[in-house]
Structures are given as structure tokens and as C-alpha cells.
């Protein structure tokens, strides 16, 4: 299978159903299956791949098709378990007076995709107000969740953190303060997104998610900054949401300009449209014409280039944090976290070491000299 | 359980996913996911709105082109199982 054939195959699966005309018919053989299987799982495309098979746009040998059905069954069983747990978690948080916003997975699968089965997810993403962070942590612990890593230093979560992972058995929750790590996470104002929410229903429960405009902004942020290179399902999210009625494009532009997200939105929209071969709606195309500052482009490069592996996000964060005192606090959290945090990060059998931690930024700087 | 004055429907707290020939179902506060393949998925879809047993049998028999009497026992057993798992509830008419 050539590199070109592979990317055409994946992009076609990720774009199934976007065009009324349908996509090209792609024939595959059994010896290509291990590669296809691993990429379908990696990009979380089981539902879209099965849809492509049903439409005759993807032809898999019967045995591989059966395996794909099994993978989709597993993915959907997990999605249902997560939704069942979401009901329990939000009831408990409601009881503790915490106002929860559901992000990503269930918030997009229901109402934004033609079928919820097209949009798998493997954990829950919830956002709460930083003022309710303590009550949230207490409640999650009460219902059996454990924090994956301790806080690096007191106050880090609510001042600088993007999200904290909690687990209970096979169920994971990412509890968000904001939508992105690094400078964009500092510039975004989550309280404004939370002020514009909509409701959706699962079973007999009602949940809150961002409205369509907020969801599109978050989808762009996640698609562009979440992974390098971008994953296909978040790119599909961008196109899926951009196609709905009800997006306030003026508000999106105001948010984008105010929160220095023009480069991020443009990157996400152009990448989604070009990789998945789907045109953008006119107002989205107009967003591509908005001028982008050098500061934004530099910040975006900290995520989308190999600067990301060289501490680019952490260094860009220091520059974005307002005030010397806060910058020093952030830097101290990175360089001198609590022993407990270091120990939790150390690999098994390894002693927590500040020296090892300090060598990381040193290697970033040395790496920089060589590039 | 039988009798046209009783209607059945999906319990309000259920969650489901349609994955083609099968529907996966669970309910809030549960870790167990049930698979409803083939005819069971037809029954589940029909239970999205309240339905009597005769209506349900008629729909399933039409979908599979068999006599209602030939599938009555299986459909009743399925309904019992779904009710035991709190996935389906009975609605009893107050004016028969």
C-alpha cells in the first residue's frame, strides 16, 4: 500500500457522509488490514469506517469486516458505560452545587452527528468553574474516583492547569479548567463560553454543553492543538459542527480575536477542509481572511511544529502568563514540584529526582541550539 | 403480563447505540451493556413509543414475515428479560 493510498483511505473514512455525492470506492486486501485496523483505532474511526462499508465506499474482506464490527461494538459498549457513569457523576456534582459542562464525546455524539455511533469516545471531559474545583474533587473522591497525578504545587490546577485526570476502574474523567494547555489556555476565557450554553438529553437526564458557537471554537482548539499531527476525528468534529445552523459567526470572530485564536481557528478549518476534502461554509471561509499576528503564529508553532517536543508549550506559556509574580509561580511549579508529584511521575522502581527533572529543560535548550 | 390494556415502552433512563444489526442498551447507574441483535433490535426500536403486546407481535411478524403466533413466546420472554433488567417498563391503562 503506497503512502498516498494510505492517507486517501483514512481521509475517505473520516469524511464519509460529508458529501451527498459520496466518496470514492476503496478496495482493500487482507494483508493491508493490520495497518488499517491500527489507524482506525488510533484515529477512533470505527463508526465512520463501518458506515463507509455500509455505503459501499470501503470494501474490506469479510473476515476484516467482521473484526471491524467487533471493534465498533467494543467502542460503543465503552461509550454507553461512560454515559451511564456521566449520569451518576453529574447527579453527584449537582448535589454538591457544582455546575458542570460536558465537553467533547457525548456533547458532540448526540445532536451533531447523524448517528451517535459515528462518534466514539474513550473518556469523559467535564469543565467546572475554578471556584468549584475543591468541591468537585471532594465529590469525585466520594463516588470512587482517584486523581491520576497529584497537583505539582498548591494552586497550579486553578491558575495554570488545563485539566486533571481522574479514574475509577476503566472510567476516566478529564476535569477541565480550560480548553488547552499553554498560552491559548491562558488567553481563552472559559467563563464566557460557559455563559453561552445549551442543553442536551441522555436517557431522562439533561446536561449542559457549550452552544454551537462554543462547540465549534472548542473543536478547532482541540483539532489544532490536541495532537501533532492532528487526529482525524477532531477534524471531522470541526466540519460536523461548522455545518449546523445556529452558529453565531460574529461572536466566534469576536472570541477568536479577543482570545488570540485566529491562527488556531484558521489552522483547524483549513486542515479539516483539505484533509477531508469537504468545503467550508461561507462564514468559515471568511474567518480565514482575518489577519493573524506574529505572536499568535509563534504560539501556534509551539504546538504544531517540533518545538512541541522541545518544551515549546511550557516556554510559550511563561511568555503568555501576565505578571512577573505569576510567571515565577508557574516556573517554580515546573522546576520544583512537590516530591509527591515527582514520585508519581517517576517510572516504577525509579527514585524521584529533581536533577532528572531539571535535565529536561536543559535538553530543550541544548536541542534548540542544534536546530 | 399479556393483555392489550398493558403497554410497554423503553424505560426513560435507558441509553442505547444502534450499530447496524444490533442495538446496545444500558441504563443509568449500570455498568452492564446488553446486546439486542436481529429481531430483538426490532422489538427495541418499536418500544421507543408505548406499544401493546399484540401490536408489537404484529410489527415483528411483519418485519420477519412470520406468523405472530410463531414468535409470541420469544417476544414475551424478551420483554420479561428487559423488564427484569429495568430496561423496559409497563404502562397500565387506567380506563380499560
Q: Is it the case that residue A349 has pLDDT exceeding 80?
A: no
Q: Do B20 and A50 touch (CB under 8 A)?
A: yes
Q: Do B27 and A76 touch (CB under 8 A)?
A: no
pLDDT tens digits for A272-330?
Answer: 999 999 999 999 999 999 999 998 898 888 878 876 666 667 777 888 888 888 888 88
What chain A holds in terms of domains, given with CATH numbers, is 3-302 (3.30.460.40), 325-369 (no CATH)
Nearest by CB: A203 against B14, B19, B31: B14
> Which residues of chain A neighbour B20 with C-beta distances below 8 Å?
50, 54, 69
Prediction ipTM score: 0.89
Distance from CA of B69 to the nearest CA of A (A): 32
> Which residues of chain B neighbour A80 with C-beta distances below 8 Å?
15-17, 24-26, 33
Q: Do A205 and B28 touch (CB under 8 A)?
A: yes
Q: Do A80 and B24 touch (CB under 8 A)?
A: yes
Cell of A231: 487526529
Cell of B48: 421507543
- Which of B21, B25, B28, B87 would best serve as a mutation to test chain A binding (most A beta carbons within 10 A)? B28
Q: Are A102 and A209 in contact (CB under 8 A)?
A: yes
> Which residues of chain A neighbour B26 with C-beta distances below 8 Å?
80-81, 83-84
Q: What is the pLDDT of residue A364?
A: 61
Question: pLDDT grade, residue A348 (50/70/90)?
Answer: low
> From CA A84, how far away is CA A356, in angstroms rounded?
42
DSSP state of A333: H
Distance from CA of B67 to the nearest CA of A (A): 30
Q: What is the pLDDT of residue A90?
A: 96
**What's the burial of B87, exposed, middle or buried (CB within 10 Å: 0-12/13-18/19+)?**
buried
Lowest mean pLDDT segment, chosen from A2-11, A264-273, A293-302: A2-11
Q: What is the pLDDT of residue A324?
A: 87
> Which residues of chain B neighbour A203 with C-beta distances below 8 Å?
12-15, 27-28
Q: Is it the case that residue B1 has pLDDT exceeding 90?
A: no
Distance from CA of A80 to the nearest CA of B (A): 7
Q: What is the pLDDT of residue A322?
A: 87
Classified as helix, coil or strand, B17 is strand
Question: pLDDT grade, residue A74 (50/70/90)?
Answer: very high
What DSSP string runs through A33-88? HHHHHHHHHHTT-HHHHHHHHHTTSEE--HHHHHHHHHHHHHHHHHHHHHHHHHHH
Length of chain A: 371
Buried b (16+ CB within 10 A) or exposed e, A194-216: beebbebebbebebbbbbbbbbb
Q: What is the pLDDT of residue A369?
A: 46
> From CA A85, how far away is CA A122, in angstroms rounded?
12
Q: Are A157 and A164 in contact (CB under 8 A)?
A: yes
Radius of gyration of chain B (CA): 13
> Average pLDDT for residues B48-74, to the nearest whole number?
92
> From CA A272, how far away is CA A241, in angstroms rounded?
12
Q: Is it the case that residue B4 has pLDDT exceeding 60?
A: no
Strand partners, B91: B7
Classified as helix, coil or strand, A12 is helix
What residue of B is the nearest CA neighbor of A53? B20
Q: Are A188 and A317 in contact (CB under 8 A)?
A: no
End-to-end CA distance of chain B: 15
Q: What is the pLDDT of residue A371?
A: 39
Q: What is the pLDDT of residue A112?
A: 97
pLDDT exceeding 70 applies to what percent of chain A?
92
pLDDT tens digits for A147-204?
Answer: 998 888 888 888 888 999 999 998 999 999 999 988 999 999 999 999 999 999 999 9
Q: Do B19 and A81 touch (CB under 8 A)?
A: no
Lowest mean pLDDT segment, chosen from A10-24, A349-363, B71-85: A349-363
Give the contacts of A134 (CB within 8 A, at least 6 positions apart): none
Report CA-CA distances (Å) from A161 to A185, A245, A334, B66.
Answer: 8, 33, 12, 61
In total, the C-beta contacts within 8 angstroms joining chain A to chain B are 57
∠ CA A271-A273-A277, rounded to 5°: 120
Residue A347 vs residue A266, higher pLDDT: A266
Amino acid at each position: 500500500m503506497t503512502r498516498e493510498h494510505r492517507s486517501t483511505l483514512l481521509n475517505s473514512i473520516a469524511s464519509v457522509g460529508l458529501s451527498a455525492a459520496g466518496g470514492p470506492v476503496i478496495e482493500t486486501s487482507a494483508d493491508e488490514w493490520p495497518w488499517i485496523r491500527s489507524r482506525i483505532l488510533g484515529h477512533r474511526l470505527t463508526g465512520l469506517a463501518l458506515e463507509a462499508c455500509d455505503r459501499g465506499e470501503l470494501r474490506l474482506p469479510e473476515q476484516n469486516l467482521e473484526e471491524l464490527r467487533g471493534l465498533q461494538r467494543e467502542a460503543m459498549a465503552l461509550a454507553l458505560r461512560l454515559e451511564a457513569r456521566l449520569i451518576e457523576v453529574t447527579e453527584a456534582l449537582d448535589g454538591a452545587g457544582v455546575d458542570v459542562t460536558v465537553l467533547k464525546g457525548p456533547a458532540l455524539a448526540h445532536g451533531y452527528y447523524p448517528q451517535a455511533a459515528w462518534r466514539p469516545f474513550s473518556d469523559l471531559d467535564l469543565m467546572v468553574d475554578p471556584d468549584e474545583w475543591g468541591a468537585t474533587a471532594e465529590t469525585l473522591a466520594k463516588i470512587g474516583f482517584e486523581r491520576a497525578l497529584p497537583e505539582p504545587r498548591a494552586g497550579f490546577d486553578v491558575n495554570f492547569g488545563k485539566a486533571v485526570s481522574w479514574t475509577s476502574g476503566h472510567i476516566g474523567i478529564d476535569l477541565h479548567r480550560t480548553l488547552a494547555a499553554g498560552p491559548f489556555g491562558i488567553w481563552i476565557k472559559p467563563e464566557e463560553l460557559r455563559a453561552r450554553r445549551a442543553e442536551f438529553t441522555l436517557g431522562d437526564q439533561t446536561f449542559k454543553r457549550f452552544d454551537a458557537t462554543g462547540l465549534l471554537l472548542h473543536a478547532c482548539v482541540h483539532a489544532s492543538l490536541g495532537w501533532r499531527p492532528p487526529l482525524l476525528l477532531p477534524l471531522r468534529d470541526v466540519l460536523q459542527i461548522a455545518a449546523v445552523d445556529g452558529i453565531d459567526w460574529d461572536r466566534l470572530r469576536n472570541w477568536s480575536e479577543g482570545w488570540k485564536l485566529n491562527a488556531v481557528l484558521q489552522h483547524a478549518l483549513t486542515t479539516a477542509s483539505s484533509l477531508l476534502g469537504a468545503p467550508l461554509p461561507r462564514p468559515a471561509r471568511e474567518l480565514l481572511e482575518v489577519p493573524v499576528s506574529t505572536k499568535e503564529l509563534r504560539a501556534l508553532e509551539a504546538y504544531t511544529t517540533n518545538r512541541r517536543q522541545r518544551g515549546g508549550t511550557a516556554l510559550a506559556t511563561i511568555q503568555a502568563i501576565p505578571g512577573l509574580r505569576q510567571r515565577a509561580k508557574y516556573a517554580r511549579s515546573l522546576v520544583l514540584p512537590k516530591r509527591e508529584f515527582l514520585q508519581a511521575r517517576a517510572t516504577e522502581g525509579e527514585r524521584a529526582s529533581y536533577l532528572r527533572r531539571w535535565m529536561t529543560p536543559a535538553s530543550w535548550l541544548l536541542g534548540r541550539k542544534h536546530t | 403480563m399479556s393483555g392489550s390494556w398493558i403497554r410497554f415502552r423503553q424505560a426513560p433512563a435507558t441509553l442505547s447505540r444502534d450499530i447496524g444489526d444490533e442495538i446496545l442498551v444500558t441504563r443509568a447507574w449500570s455498568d452492564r451493556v446488553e446486546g439486542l441483535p436481529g429481531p430483538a433490535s426490532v422489538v427495541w426500536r418499536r418500544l421507543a413509543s408505548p406499544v401493546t403486546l399484540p401490536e408489537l407481535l404484529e410489527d415483528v411478524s411483519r418485519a420477519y414475515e412470520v406468523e405472530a403466533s410463531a414468535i409470541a413466546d420469544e417476544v414475551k420472554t424478551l420483554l420479561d428479560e428487559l423488564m427484569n433488567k429495568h430496561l423496559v417498563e409497563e404502562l397500565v391503562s387506567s380506563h380499560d
